[in-house]
Amino acid sequence: MNPPILAQIGDTKKWERPSKGIFKINFEATVNDNRMGYGVIIRDGDGFVLGGGEDFNEGRFSVLEAECIALERSIEVADKFWVM
């Protein structure tokens, strides 16, 4: 059996609630051959989901470009749900 190509991460960080009155935005992006996808979620201090979304874009993207697009979309979602 061959060793894994990517290093195994021993600890996964658990989501932590923000303080009362604070909103937390999490986003993630992934890149494939000719496509990138991302997801966004916004939660309040109780862990209640206020909004979110996901989408795919066709084309070649670097990981940095994909993460920047996901960041931009998370700001748009926050603005849409009056979090900002």
Instruction: Report the DSSP beta bridge partners of residue 36.
Output: 31, 57
pLDDT tens sequence across 70-84: 999 999 988 887 755
Using CA atoms, how far apart are residues 24 and 2, in angstroms rounded to an integer? 40
pLDDT tens sequence across 13-72: 787 888 888 889 999 999 998 999 999 999 998 989 988 889 999 999 999 999 999 999
Using CA atoms, how far apart are residues 78 and 40, in angstroms rounded to an integer? 10
pTM to 2 decimals? 0.72
